[in-house]
């Protein structure tokens, strides 16, 4: 764990420049607005280590999969979000020396992410090889209001010289993905133009044919006065620039304001993109930088009003949670149901920007409680719309009769992962998709979703499970062979407890929803059975038979569920006995050694106990927690949050706090040594869960919202906001007890420590710890 960034409740601050940490900082300081995003690359040239990243949501490329020995069932393509045209670039030359921090003496450096108002600021003073000192201030953001736009204000001041400075704002589409499987460039040029103060490049992706126009317009001032200086237009392959030569005066700043726009053929016809980009540029440049920044701050203030979590008395914990909430809001706004949440969001290429089970298992709860209902519903509809492809995907693997296997990794519904051996058999993702439907309906009460869409998905998923299990004549039970559980540090195992548990849960829930739908709307149910050729009697009988005869591995001596058959054969050395120098295992050990080891990458049995806690008594949860936690290395970002929630449930507040810090500061402190690839965006929703479900003990049962809060010793108080069925609540937990303020016009009754409290619109209830008022 590193402590590179300064602790501040509303900011992430880097003081001093450490090139070895630049890629981590580029990830942590990433910006986005749901529609586009970028890593915190420098505007000026940088020849040191960097990962360039500009991304346009939903624009991807199916790169041909790279495998040694091709086998039937491998996905042909690995879809990846594309590194798109670089719109931030501003090249600076002082006489014949290019400004490049890798080649300068960096005299001072400060970078600050202002999470309250949503912008990135960088100030530095640098000395070139010939001794010329410049001071630079750069502020930029991706606008939350004009979500196709970004803007940069870049000021440079000569400190100890007067000479010619050349400033060249540019757009460069001649870029590539670092993870390109065949070192291919994925964009072709369509057109480009450059004028005195504006220009654009329009590119088209190979294969997928997405078109994106990236356009810029700029103004320039010297010492606060607009300059009329002529620019020299430059055009190269997929590149436009405007070179401006100025006589720089000592102590006088030169300020370039660069407005930029990304518009894509997902939203307009390709032929209209240039006109649309010109319109957006006109709108934002007419507003000007200061107005745009004020609007940005106001848009963020509105977000924080509904999302903020306040932790009193622990600045590091406060910074951690705000960073997570900030990044989630930058990644996905829920405006567009074609989009989803890539595990790295707009902060890196890893995981290709694709959709994983992370969305259903981790992100849905966050959006359910902090955004309008339609946002979580859109996430569910995304999968509903891909049901046909999930059925095709299952067909390719030999399943039939409408069985659906959702992809582990997808952009458009087609399976597109690159890591066959690991992810292919992680069929548990199908269960998470079923669970998200349950979770959404449990939270919102929107039963109509089940009749309109949910049941169709549930039946298709259940059909898959019913075909995927095997009857074991030996055991006289059903078994689930050849799977990988959430713990990817063991592949192709038999009878992974979590997978079998969620499979059986899906079958039960499907039967329950069938029963409900027949009562609520028999004609609609009949239509559905015809649409999907559902043979009710026969198929339900099969589901029920599996439910009654499924085998779940269990150790009777230890009284625990077994992660999978044979888990106890492994050498049982606990994580605490592993030398720190050997971790993270994935970077230090061979894959062979990892697969044989007892070490668990992320919550697996415990993930099941978290989802289905009501089915197990507290002692069972405790025994399993006590057994599995000491064997878990948390090398998946999705792990600590589940452990935090369970630890809090078990009353182990100290461990819950440690897990909370780990999940919330995972990227800020680079716990897993991998933040340079990008931030762990989907696990950030897990961080939110660890506060609200962990310390807040929030649950929903039978349509009632309940809280069972615990206050970590390190905190004076904490508070969070949740929306529930039209009511908006502010919950504050302190040493004095729990106060719940209903800030909406909707009355609500909630449970706190098991006692019911009516909290009418606009009123507040104060409840002493562990006692009803
Ligand atoms: C985890 C998976 C997860 C993926 C994307 C992997 O490291 O093991 O569970 O879906 O990352 O976040």
The pLDDT score that the predictor gives to residue 771 is: 42
Q: Whose CA is nearest to atom 8 of ligand 1?
A: 636
Compute the mean pLDDT over every residue in the chain, rounded to the nearest whole number: 96
Around ligand 1, the residues with Cβ closer than 6 Å are 343, 351, 356-358, 486, 488, 601-602, 636, 638, 682
The pLDDT score that the predictor gives to residue 404 is: 98
The pLDDT score that the predictor gives to residue 486 is: 98
Q: Which of 425, 488, 539, 693 is catalytic?
A: 488
- Conformation bin of residue 753: beta by default, left when phi > 0, alpha when psi is -120 to 50: left
Please give the distance, rounded to the nearest whole angstrom, from the Cα atom of residue 39 to the centre of ligand 1: 21
The pLDDT score that the predictor gives to residue 80 is: 86
Residues of the chain with CATH 2.70.98.40: 12-305
Q: CA gyration radius for the chain?
A: 27
Q: For a substitution probing ligand 1, which of 328, 341, 343 has the most ligand atoms within 8 Å of its CB?
A: 343
Q: Is the pLDDT of residue 762 over 50?
A: yes
Closest atom of ligand 1 to 635 CA is 7
State the DSSP H helix or E strand holding residue 245, giving kind and residue range, or none if neither: strand 239-247
Please give the distance, rounded to the nearest whole angstrom, from the Cα atom of residue 198 to the centre of ligand 1: 42
| Spatial distance between the Cα atoms of 653 and 516, rounded to a whole number of angstroms | 40
Q: For a substitution probing ligand 1, which of 355, 356, 496, 673 has the most ligand atoms within 8 Å of its CB?
A: 356
Q: Is the pLDDT of residue 149 over 60?
A: yes
Q: Is the pLDDT of residue 769 over 80?
A: no
Q: Is 488 a catalytic residue?
A: yes
| CATH domain 372-571 topology | Glycosyltransferase (1.50.10)
The pLDDT score that the predictor gives to residue 73 is: 80
- For residues 440-460, give the mean pLDDT: 98
The pLDDT score that the predictor gives to residue 684 is: 97
φ, ψ of residue 280 to 5 degrees: the values are -65, -40
Q: How many CB atoms lie within 10 A of CB 424?
A: 21
Contact (Cβ atoms closer than 8 angstroms) between residue 405 and residue 394: yes
pLDDT single digits (tens) 725-756: 999 999 999 999 999 999 999 999 999 999 99
Q: Whose CA is nearest to atom 11 of ligand 1?
A: 636
- For residues 59-67, give the mean pLDDT: 89
Q: Are β-strands 704-707 and 748-752 bridged in parallel, bridged antiparallel, or unpaired?
A: parallel
- For residues 521-533, give the mean pLDDT: 97
Q: For a substitution probing ligand 1, which of 78, 331, 358 has the most ligand atoms within 8 Å of its CB?
A: 358
- For residues 159-183, give the mean pLDDT: 95
Q: Whose CA is nearest to atom 12 of ligand 1?
A: 343
- For residues 366-370, give the mean pLDDT: 96
Please give the distance, rounded to the nearest whole angstrom, from the Cα atom of residue 574 to the centre of ligand 1: 23
The pLDDT score that the predictor gives to residue 773 is: 33
Residues of the chain with CATH 1.50.10.10: 372-571
- For residues 511-521, give the mean pLDDT: 97
- For residues 671-681, give the mean pLDDT: 94
Q: Is the pLDDT of residue 668 over 90?
A: yes
The pLDDT score that the predictor gives to residue 471 is: 98
pLDDT single digits (tens) 612-623: 999 999 999 999
Q: Whose CA is nearest to atom 6 of ligand 1?
A: 636
Q: How far apart are the first and last CA of the chain?
A: 43
The pLDDT score that the predictor gives to residue 770 is: 59
Please give the residue that has the higher pLDDT: either 49 or 772. Answer: 49
Q: Is the pLDDT of residue 1 over 70?
A: no
Confidence of residue 68 (pLDDT cuts 50, 70, 90): confident
Closest atom of ligand 1 to 486 CA is 9
Confidence of residue 67 (pLDDT cuts 50, 70, 90): confident
Please give the distance, rounded to the nearest whole angstrom, from the Cα atom of residue 604 to the centre of ligand 1: 12
- For residues 1-26, give the mean pLDDT: 94
Closest atom of ligand 1 to 683 CA is 12
From residue 597, give the alpha-carbon distance in Å to each of 6, 406, 573, 633, 634: 37, 29, 9, 11, 14
| Spatial distance between the Cα atoms of 640 and 659, rounded to a whole number of angstroms | 5
Peptide bond into 584 cis (omega under 30): yes
Contacts of 371 (CB under 8 A, 6+ apart): 306, 334, 723
The pLDDT score that the predictor gives to residue 78 is: 86
- For residues 145-168, give the mean pLDDT: 97
- Conformation bin of residue 70: beta by default, left when phi > 0, alpha when psi is -120 to 50: beta
The pLDDT score that the predictor gives to residue 72 is: 81
The string of DSSP codes covering 295-350 is: HHHHHHHHHHHHH-EEEET-HHHHHHHHHHHHHHHHH--SS-TT----TTTTS-SG
- For residues 489-493, give the mean pLDDT: 95
Closest atom of ligand 1 to 682 CA is 12
Q: Whose CA is nearest to atom 5 of ligand 1?
A: 343
- For residues 676-695, give the mean pLDDT: 97
Confidence of residue 2 (pLDDT cuts 50, 70, 90): confident
From residue 462, give the alpha-carbon distance in Å to each of 110, 401, 402, 433, 468: 54, 11, 10, 11, 10
| pLDDT above 90 coverage of the chain, percent | 93
The pLDDT score that the predictor gives to residue 708 is: 97
| Spatial distance between the Cα atoms of 649 and 687, rounded to a whole number of angstroms | 15
| pLDDT above 70 coverage of the chain, percent | 99
- For residues 249-278, give the mean pLDDT: 98
The pLDDT score that the predictor gives to residue 3 is: 84
| Spatial distance between the Cα atoms of 354 and 77, rounded to a whole number of angstroms | 12
Query: What are the b/e assignments for 314-340, b being 16+ CB within 10 Å?
Result: bebbbbbbbbbbbbbbbbbbbebbebb
Q: Whose CA is nearest to atom 1 of ligand 1?
A: 636
- In this structure, the chain runs to a length of 773
Q: Is the pLDDT of residue 605 over 70?
A: yes
Contact (Cβ atoms closer than 8 angstroms) between residue 651 and residue 632: no
Superfamily of domain 12-305 in CATH is Glycoside hydrolase, family 65, N-terminal domain (2.70.98.40)
Q: Whose CA is nearest to atom 9 of ligand 1?
A: 486
The pLDDT score that the predictor gives to residue 772 is: 36
The pLDDT score that the predictor gives to residue 405 is: 98
């Amino acid at each position: 764990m590193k402590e590179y960034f300064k602790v501040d409740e509303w900011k992430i601050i880097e003081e001093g420049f450490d090139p070895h940490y630049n890629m981590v900082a580029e990830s942590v300081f990433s910006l986005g607005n749901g529609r586009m995003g970028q890593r915190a690359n420098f505007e000026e040239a940088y020849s040191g280590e960097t990962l360039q990243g500009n991304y346009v949501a939903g624009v991807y490329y199916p790169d041909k999969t790279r495998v040694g020995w091709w086998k039937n069932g491998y996905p042909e393509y690995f879809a990846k979000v594309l590194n798109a045209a670089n719109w931030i670039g501003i090249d600076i030359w002082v006489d014949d020396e290019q400004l490049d921090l890798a080649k300068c003496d960096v005299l001072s450096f400060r970078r600050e992410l202002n999470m309250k108002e949503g912008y990135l600021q960088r100030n530095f003073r640098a000395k070139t090889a010939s001794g010329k000192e410049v001071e630079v201030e750069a502020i930029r953001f991706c606008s939350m209001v004009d979500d196709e736009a970004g803007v940069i204000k870049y000021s440079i001041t000569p400190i100890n010289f007067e000479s010619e400075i050349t400033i060249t704002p540019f757009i460069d589409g001649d870029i590539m993905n670092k993870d390109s499987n065949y070192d291919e460039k994925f964009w072709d040029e369509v057109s480009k133009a450059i004028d005195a103060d504006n220009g654009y490049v329009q590119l088209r992706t190979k294969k997928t044919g997405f078109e994106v126009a990236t356009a810029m317009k700029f103004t320039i001032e010297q010492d606060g006065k607009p300059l009329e200086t002529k620019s020299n237009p430059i055009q190269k392959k997929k590149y436009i620039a405007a070179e401006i030569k100025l006589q720089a005066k000592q102590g006088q700043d030169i300020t370039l304001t660069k407005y930029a726009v990304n518009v894509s053929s997902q939203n307009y016809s390709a032929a209209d993109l240039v006109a649309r980009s010109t319109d957006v540029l006109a709108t934002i440049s007419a507003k000007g930088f200061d107005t745009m920044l004020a609007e940005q701050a106001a848009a963020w203030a509105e977000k924080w009003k509904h999302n903020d979590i306040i932790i009193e008395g622990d600045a590091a914990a406060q910074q951690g949670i705000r960073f997570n909430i900030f990044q989630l809001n930058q990644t996905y706004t829920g405006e567009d149901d074609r989009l989803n949440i890539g595990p790295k969001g707009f902060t890196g290429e890893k995981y290709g920007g694709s959709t994983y089970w992370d969305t259903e298992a981790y992100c849905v709860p966050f959006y359910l409680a902090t955004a309008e209902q339609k946002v979580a519903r859109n996430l569910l509809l995304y999968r509903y719309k891909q049901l046909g492809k999930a059925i095709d995907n299952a067909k390719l693997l030999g399943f039939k009769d409408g069985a659906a296997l959702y992809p582990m990794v997808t952009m458009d519904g087609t399976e597109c992962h690159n890591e066959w051996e690991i992810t292919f058999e992680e069929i548990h993702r199908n269960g998470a998709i079923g669970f998200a439907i349950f979770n959404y309906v449990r939270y919102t009460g929107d039963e109509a979703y089940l009749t309109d869409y949910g049941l169709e998905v549930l039946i298709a998923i259940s059909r898959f499970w019913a075909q995927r299990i095997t009857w074991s004549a030996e055991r006289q039970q059903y078994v689930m062979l050849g799977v990988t559980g959430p713990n990817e540090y063991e592949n192709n195992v038999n009878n992974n407890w979590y997978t079998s548990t969620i499979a059986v849960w899906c079958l039960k829930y499907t039967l329950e929803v069938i029963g409900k739908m027949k009562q609520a709307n028999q004609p609609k149910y009949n239509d559905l059975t015809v649409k999907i050729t559902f043979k009710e009697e026969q198929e339900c009988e099969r589901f029920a038979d599996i439910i009654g005869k499924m085998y779940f591995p269990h150790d009777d001596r230890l009284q625990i569920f077994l992660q999978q058959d044979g888990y106890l054969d492994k050498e049982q050395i606990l994580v605490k006995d592993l030398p720190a120098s050997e971790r993270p295992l994935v970077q230090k050990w061979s894959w062979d050694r990892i697969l044989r080891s007892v070490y668990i990458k992320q919550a697996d049995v415990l993930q099941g106990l978290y989802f289905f806690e009501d089915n197990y008594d507290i002692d069972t949860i405790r025994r399993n927690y006590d057994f599995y936690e000491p064997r878990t290395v948390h090398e998946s970002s999705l792990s600590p949050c589940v452990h935090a929630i369970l630890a809090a449930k078990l009353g182990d507040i100290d461990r819950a706090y440690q897990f909370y810090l780990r999940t919330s500061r995972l990227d800020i402190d680079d716990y897993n040594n991998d933040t340079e690839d990008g931030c762990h965006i989907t696990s950030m929703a897990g961080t939110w869960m660890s506060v609200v479900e962990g310390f807040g003990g929030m649950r929903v049962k039978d349509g009632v919202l309940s809280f069972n809060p615990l206050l970590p010793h390190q905190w004076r108080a904490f508070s969070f906001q949740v929306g529930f069925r039209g009511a908006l609540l502010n919950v504050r937990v302190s040493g004095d007890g729990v106060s719940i303020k209903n800030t909406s016009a909707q009355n609500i009754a909630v449970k706190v420590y098991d006692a019911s409290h009516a909290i009418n619109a606009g009123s507040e209830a104060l409840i002493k710890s562990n006692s009803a008022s």
